[in-house]
Amino acid sequence: MAAVLTTDVNPGQSKSFSNGNIVVSATKVTESKLAPVSGINNISASGDIVKRATYQRTVTEFGIEVFQTTNWVQYVYNGTTIKEIQGYDAYTSINLNPTVTTEWDGKMAWGVGTNTVNTCGDVHYGFFYKDIGIRYANATIGLWVNVANNTSSGYFNEL
């Protein structure tokens, strides 16, 4: 299971284990303009735009999503520069294996005043064995978006 959770997969790619029964895939970073909230438009008079980018890594076993991590960042930009980071998070969004544990820390986002917004979090994988929790892998999972050339990607670095 450690190899499955810590395998490096680029967005849009997947890797198979156990004769194809277990597949690890990474969703391409998706970006979306946010809909107006409480009468506040997502495009201001100055032309600033609010967007959210999301990156997900998924483990599928026999066609069922059994484990998934999600990173997202919401930001304001004026077409060329990040003006504000409104929110971000990194978390385990699906975990159907009760013996696998995840702990997150070191969550951060940066890029205000530049043309690239970044966010990441450190995840620590563990498992339970006879009431003892054992940590077996650590990684940093994150995403970046370059608003100047409209490119983005997610990343996974084993620590």
pLDDT tens for each residue of 14-36: 888 888 888 888 887 777 776 54
Closest CA to 29 of 7, 5, 10, 8: 10
* pLDDT tens digit sequence for 32-70: 776 544 445 455 556 688 888 999 999 998 888 999 999
- Sorted by sequence, the CB contacts under 8 Å of residue 15 that are 6+ apart come out as 7, 9, 23, 24, 25
Q: Do the beta carbons of residue 64 and residue 50 sit within 8 Å?
A: no
Taking only Cα atoms into account, the Rg of the chain, rounded to an integer number of angstroms, comes to: 17
The pLDDT, as a whole number, for residue 36 is 46
Give the residue extent of every domain in the chain. 2-34+46-158
C-alpha 35, offset from chain centre: 21
Residues 6+ apart with CB under 8 A from 75: 50, 51, 52, 53, 82, 83, 84, 85, 86, 111, 117, 145
